[in-house]
Structure 1
Amino acid sequence: MTATAILTLIVIYFSILFVISHVTSKKNSDNDAFFKANKNAKWYLVAFGMIGTALSGVTFISVPGQVGSPEVQFKYFQFVLGNAIGFILIAKGLLPLYYRMNLTSIYGYIEQRLGHVSYKTAATIFLISRTIGSAARLYLVVLVLQRYVFDEFGVPFWATVFGSLALIFAYTYRGGLKTIIITDTLQTLFLVSSVVFTIFFICNSLDYSLPQAFEAVKESNYSKIFFYEDWLKGNYWIKQILGGIFVTIAMVGLDQDLMQKNLSCKNIGEAQKNMFTFTGIFVVINLFFLSVGALLYLYAENHGIAIPMVDGKPRTDLLFPEIAFNHLSLIPAIVFLLGLTAATFATTDSALTALTTSFCVDFLGMDKAENQGKNSVRTRHAVHIGFSALMFVVILIIYLLNSDSVVAMIFKIAAYTYGPLLGLYGFGLFVKTKTVKERWVPLVCILAPALTFAISSYSSTWFGDYQFAEELIIVNGALTFFGLWLISKPADRETRF
């Protein structure tokens, strides 16, 4: 598939998104539509659209790419099972709380429970966490587009990043969440179709029927799910499941991005139906992604394809696009590109909307009637531009760092940035009789990740070769919780929830 053909397809794709944006924002583009979709979103559209937001281009490329490592294989599915448990806990525990309090920003709970400084601290943690995480996700896809499209036209990497963010800004700045719910539904359709068709095309290339493909994956060296052998290693099953539970609670239940979609439903019943439906689809689609990974490595072995190199290092993230663009026919390449583009931009457009919402509500008070004039819409547009620019800078920094595996980097970042949110909400929800001395809260939320980093760095020395994996977020949350306990004081009755 030529670079010109890929670029033409991307132009057509974004043209469709712009049409949707124009239609959804034509009648109403005020702040209520941007922040909450006028509280009128259909739960089934939200559930399906959330798949694209939750998965991202990282899942699309990096998860299949990791399957080739003997220490990884289908290890990620252990983590996914933990995710599923976390989603259920969110639906039964956090969503009823958010709906009962009628929140626009979920960090409003922290303000009412622990106070103003704690509230600003929680919102700041989200802004930092989501900006870095979303930038990392977009970076991976821009890297693919750069390698297979824009290098051929002599376009520098920074210009590709700028153009991608400019397109996302252009179709989200007016309609916000109201637009995102529709565009994410379309993009998820592309993503799911892409995974299914990719499995079909690879099976066809290997002369496998679907039952034969299932058996080949099962008998391969790539399909081991549960790792029981050594509890000191990061791939041990209990670590992965526990990490999956707590990472999900932090990165979904305590994250304005995905919760903003849930809060756009009419009532708690529809929001919970959304979460349960989403959970089932999420588990199945991740199993498909892992199967794609095993089939890709079987295909590579069969055809003598080496893992692509970047700056002298093998990049498993690039195996999928390498096979799709250079070794399969035109139709599979188009299917791959649609899936990759959908997965990535569904995540990034949603993140930019959530970041704008959080800043406008948590720091500028735009959910209050006195701050909802004509100038507030103009201010919201400026905030949207600001976060687009910030994400641009972060992507360039990640590019300079040149991490080997983006999926590993994202969960490592999450362990440090979302851990304090886990501690704040844990303290607020489970220590009913106490509140905190607020001036010390920011310090606790800085010291906890710093201590977590030290523990992770020296774990092999201090704990007999123990290797932390995704469960590191539990350590970070526990340290934050303990720090808040140390600075606690008796709570007034009206602050207890």
Structure 2
Amino acid sequence: MNPVIILTVFISYSALLFLIAGITGRRSTNDTYFTGNRNSPWYIVAYGMIGASLSGVTFISIPGEVGASGFSYMVLVLGYLLGYAFIAQVLLPVYYGRKLTSIYTYLEQRFGPYTYKTGASFFILSRSIGSSFRVFLVVNVLQIFVFDNWGIPFAVNVALFMGLILLYTFRGGIKTVVWTDTLQTTFMLAAVIVSVTIISRDMEMSLGALINQVHKSDFSRMFFSEINDKRFYLKQFFSGAFIAVVMTGLDQDMMQKNLTCRNLKDAKKNIYLMSWSLVPVNLLFLFLGALLYLYVQKMGITLPQRSDDLFPLIALKHHGAFAGVVFLIGLVAAAYSSADGSLTALTTSFSIDILGLGKNQKLSDRGKVNIRMTVHLCFAVFLTGLVVLFRSISDQSVITKLFTIAGYTYGPLLGLYAFGLFTKRRVVDRYVPVIALFSPVLSYLLSVNSMHWFNGYKFGFELLIFNGLITFLGLLFISENHNSQSGNSELNIN
């Protein structure tokens, strides 16, 4: 596809986002930036969170992964439903009952300042690496198909991309993100639907015939019963439940959007609508993945070395200009969706949790806004540097390991919240950072040695559960029973 067309699509979509930002950012304050004035329609939040949940990793990687794992990812998605129900019925009442802006403030109220700073720091570390990785995946495609043709360095590409995100989220913050997420969801889904339609045309098969073809193929296998297989269906299901809890319920990025709803009732409706919508949406992505593999077989197309390149290759090289444009918009939408909410959430967490901006009574409102804007700018520069660093590493396996390591930080958060919610015990607050650091290290050792230590057993996503359990047991070791009201479990309080 002509690089000029690709760049035009990118600029046009960005201009549309700036239009939305101009509308939502009028007369914005810190409350607008952090909470959206708690006035977002729940159904808008739910629809936008679909795209935020998918991100660039799902958009590019899930279709390609079908070649190796079939439809086993759907079992993980079904597990999400259990996790999202827990978020709606347990976590949301805690967050709304305490009127939290940063969800990690709960850790201070329940345990103390060391635990509070630890939880927030783990989120900042994990979200910074994770968001940079997701942005890298998408921006790297733009670099290959556009900027390399003009000799423009990758660093300039990333700086341009992050600069645009910085500008359109600078004033409106989470209020802007809630509305731009709706665009991003729409175009990501449109890219998949257009690709399915074109494959149906090129293969001269109706949708029903394609569904039947996929069903008869090995690609549609969903349940794997071998317990040592990382795709074992029970591991997948329960891992999905816990992934939903930590990646949404304990993640400031996702929950900050949810907390912009008008009240708890609306927030619960948002979670339930979003979670059930993810089932057909993810099934659609997997269906596309199977079709792409059947398509390359029939058309005699050589498979790319990396499965992540399959969808971009077919959309941009074999499906024509219209499909390429729609794919590019979906790709850009996925990149924006990965970065804009993260930039806002990182700014919120650092400003409130680390700098204590909400508690500082000496600063004027103008002074607080200036600090928030400075933090916002610094994180934009920091994320830009991380994305450029990923490119300089150039070893995809190393980058993937960094992304995996970032995921280990959610285990301690799981353990901290579980201990706070389900026990009445108090911990020695100053020892919590040690427990939180020990847990992911031990989990990593379990992961790399599991096949040797446990008779061929290989950890998959369920490692998150063990990570959280290690933290929970560590907290139990440094705790004592406390029957005062402040020591009651959160479930008894609310």
TM value normalised by structure 1: 0.95
* Structure 1 contact 62–405 (Cα < 8 Å) conserved: no
* Structure 2 contact 122–410 (Cα < 8 Å) conserved: yes
Specify the alignment match of 1:257 in structure 2. Answer: 253
- Give the stretch that moved more between structures: 340-349 or 124-133: 340-349
Specify the alignment match of 1:311 in structure 2. Answer: none
* Residue from 380, 385, 397 that aligns with 2:377: 385
Deviation at 1:404, TM superposition (A): 5.1
> Is 1:337 paired with 2:334?
no
Deviation at 1:20, TM superposition (A): 1.0
Specify the alignment match of 1:276 in structure 2. Answer: 272
* Residue from 101, 124, 127 that aligns with 1:127: 124
* Structure 1 contact 240–470 (Cα < 8 Å) conserved: yes
| Deviation digits for residues 257-308 of structure 1 (CA, Å, limit 9, x no counterpart) | 1111111111110000101110121111000000110111111111222233
* Structure 1 contact 414–473 (Cα < 8 Å) conserved: no
Q: Which runs of 5+ in 2 are unaligned?
A: none
* Structure 2 contact 194–326 (Cα < 8 Å) conserved: yes
Deviation at 1:348, TM superposition (A): 1.1
Counting aligned pairs with the same residue, the percent is 44
| Deviation digits for residues 64-85 of structure 1 (CA, Å, limit 9, x no counterpart) | 011112xx11111111111122
Q: Which runs of 5+ in 1 are unaligned?
A: 309-313
* Residue from 408, 411, 435 that aligns with 2:426: 435
Q: Structure 1 pair 414/278, CA: closer, same or farther in 2 (3 Å)? A: farther
Deviation at 1:342, TM superposition (A): 1.2
Specify the alignment match of 2:149 in structure 1. Answer: 152
- Looking at structure 1, the residues matched to 30 and 396 of structure 2 have their Cα atoms a distance apart, in angstroms, of 38
Provide the aligned length of Structure 1 versus Structure 2.
Answer: 486
RMSD of aligned alpha carbons: 1.6
- Looking at structure 2, the residues matched to 362 and 414 of structure 1 have their Cα atoms a distance apart, in angstroms, of 20
* Residue from 468, 473, 477 that aligns with 2:468: 477
> Is 1:88 paired with 2:81?
no
SS in 1 for 2:301: coil
| Deviation digits for residues 74-129 of structure 1 (CA, Å, limit 9, x no counterpart) | 11111111112211111111011111111111111111111111111111111111
Specify the alignment match of 1:45 in structure 2. Answer: 44
SS in 1 for 2:40: coil
Within a 5 Å distance, the mapping from 1:50-129 to structure 2 comes to: 50-69=49-68, 72-129=69-126
- Looking at structure 2, the residues matched to 368 and 245 of structure 1 have their Cα atoms a distance apart, in angstroms, of 35
> Is 1:403 paired with 2:403?
no
Q: Structure 1 pair 114/159, CA: closer, same or farther in 2 (3 Å)? A: same
- Looking at structure 1, the residues matched to 364 and 258 of structure 2 have their Cα atoms a distance apart, in angstroms, of 23
SS in 2 for 1:489: strand
Specify the alignment match of 2:344 in structure 1. Answer: 353
Deviation at 1:398, TM superposition (A): 2.9
Deviation at 1:366, TM superposition (A): 2.6
- Looking at structure 2, the residues matched to 397 and 234 of structure 1 have their Cα atoms a distance apart, in angstroms, of 30
Deviation at 1:335, TM superposition (A): 1.2
TM value normalised by structure 2: 0.95
Letter in 1 for 2:460: A
Letter in 2 for 1:157: F
Specify the alignment match of 2:317 in structure 1. Answer: 326
- Looking at structure 2, the residues matched to 164 and 15 of structure 1 have their Cα atoms a distance apart, in angstroms, of 12
Q: Runs of at least 4 residues of structure 1 off by over 4 A?
A: 408-411
| Deviation digits for residues 403-457 of structure 1 (CA, Å, limit 9, x no counterpart) | 2598x7687345411000001001111111x111111111111111111111111
* Residue from 439, 444, 448 that aligns with 1:448: 439
* Structure 1 contact 356–387 (Cα < 8 Å) conserved: yes
* Residue from 158, 168, 188 that aligns with 1:191: 188
- Looking at structure 1, the residues matched to 75 and 407 of structure 2 have their Cα atoms a distance apart, in angstroms, of 17
SS in 2 for 1:142: helix
* Structure 2 contact 303–310 (Cα < 8 Å) conserved: yes
* Structure 1 contact 317–405 (Cα < 8 Å) conserved: no
* Structure 1 contact 415–472 (Cα < 8 Å) conserved: no
* Structure 1 contact 315–405 (Cα < 8 Å) conserved: no
